Amino acid sequence: MIYLVFPTSWHPSQPYLSLPSLKAFLNQNGVHDVVQRDLAIELLNDLCTWEKTKPLYEKIIRELNELSSRPSLTQVESEKFAKLREAEEIVMALKDQIDFAINSQRSPDFYEIDQYMENLKVMDVWLDNILAPYYPSQLTVIGSQMRFSPYSSKEVIDSFSHPEENFFYDLYEKWYLDDILKQDIDIFGISITSVEQIISGLTLAYLVKKNRPEIHITVGGSVFTKLVDRLEKDASPLFDFVDSFIVHEGETPLLRLVEHLRGDGDLSKVPNLIYKEEGVVKVNRPFAKEELNALPTPDFDGLPLDLYLSPTRVLPVMGSRGCYWEKCAFCSIPFDHMNFHVRYAENVVNDFKVLQEKYNCDHFFFTDEALPINFLRTFSAKIIEQKVDVQWTGELKFEKSLLKDDRMELLYKSGCRKLIFGLESYNQRVLDAMKKGVELSWVD
């Protein structure tokens, strides 16, 4: 079985697109034993459920008693003692509110900004305190903080020896690992797409490898795409528990990895793969990109769609990969992609129709780095023409062409209800220095 996991943390309102795209592509190519799991939303949901977290409260009390019984405390122990005392009170005060707060984010309360902010505050304060036994580590709804830097392999690996601080180690092991290891897995894939997921994702890789060394562990996602040279040059210690990294786009590489691991075992034929063979790190260049129009509609089967924190179901969709502009001086996104490429609007409209029908979903989020205006025009016209009744949102760059004719009207009629523009400065000199390609007159 191929077991794909999306680790903590990510924005909790909807699933991320990587695993559903991979699962659909494997299925389309005859590989059907694929399971996907979103541990980001599962862990957040479990941690914001009083019944589930009672053992953590008991741990707070146990550790308080243990520290109180000591004749003296070090500076660090004193700080932890103070945190645990605070946590004991706060957890008791919030235990009757936490389930309400997370469920409220799944109800129409979500649209009431005061209630929304209050719920988020309750969840963040709760997470900070229910995880006090792991002090000084902290978790919030969308991120975490530990004394181990995610930017250092050495520190990430060091965190595995400190489950008393690395809550991912302790909680993944206690709550999810048995269930994972019960499965008949030969390939375990972890998608790490943000820095926030490095410690959690690699911790999971370490735990699986420690218990089932025969499983091939592969890590994909944009984080390691930026680190090809480092992985290659330093013969990273991450290869002690990760068998391979898939960089750039992952659909065809994962399919080929499955075929070769289940066939001749020759990893040199797997595109975009980085692996270690006889002590040497191999990078399978040149890197390949996908034919976006050959990709199937993503498959969200198996994801806990009712757990996401949104009053209506929202699914991610993709119109393009990469950025058509690629020039902003501060931006690393162009490094994640070989080239900018677009899916035909007709295919994206079909994705909307399939997903609406299959998952009873009318709300969509374009995951494009910057939605291309020409694509939007064609897409919107087709959605209107085919009478697909949906609402959608996405992110884009200010472009003069958006102001042409009745273009905004067209977007609205096609279901667009929000556009998120990247505007890092409202100063023309700074925008020009950034090579943003935006004139303030278009913004005004």
Binding site for ligand SF4 (CB under 6 A): 323, 325-326, 328, 331, 333-334, 369-370, 397, 422
Q: Which residue has the tokens 């005004």?
A: 444
Q: What is the DSSP string of 265-287?
A: --GGGSTTEEEEETTEEEE-PSP
Q: Least distance to ligand SF4 from the beta carbon of 334, Å?
A: 6
* Angle (nearest 5°) at CA 14 between 353 and 98: 145
**Cβ proximity to ligand SF4, 303 vs 370, nearer residue:** 370
Q: Least distance to ligand SF4 from the beta carbon of 337, Å?
A: 10
**Cβ proximity to ligand SF4, 164 vs 326, nearer residue:** 326
**Cβ proximity to ligand SF4, 38 vs 399, nearer residue:** 399
Q: Least distance to ligand SF4 from the beta carbon of 320, Å?
A: 11
Q: Which residue has the tokens 């006889």?
A: 278
Cis peptide, bond prior to residue 161, ω within 30 of zero: no
Q: Least distance to ligand SF4 from the beta carbon of 435, Å?
A: 8
**Cβ proximity to ligand SF4, 60 vs 328, nearer residue:** 328
**Cβ proximity to ligand SF4, 236 vs 320, nearer residue:** 320
Q: Least distance to ligand SF4 from the beta carbon of 220, Å?
A: 20
**Cβ proximity to ligand SF4, 257 vs 431, nearer residue:** 431
Can you read off the two tokens belonging to residue 118?
């209050």
Q: Least distance to ligand SF4 from the beta carbon of 408, Å?
A: 19
Q: Least distance to ligand SF4 from the beta carbon of 368, Å?
A: 9
The 3-state DSSP class for residue 361 equals coil
The 3-state DSSP class for residue 114 equals helix
Residue 335 backbone dihedrals phi, psi, to 5 degrees: -70, -20
* Strand pairing report for 320-321 and 341-342: antiparallel
Q: Which residue has the tokens 């694929």?
A: 34
**Which residues are within 8 A (CB) of 358 and not within 5 positions of it... i.e. 6 or more apart?**
none
Q: How far apart are CA 263 and CA 243, in angstroms?
A: 17
**Cβ proximity to ligand SF4, 385 vs 439, nearer residue:** 439
Tell me which residue of 156, 2, 132 sits closest to 67, measured CA to CA.
132
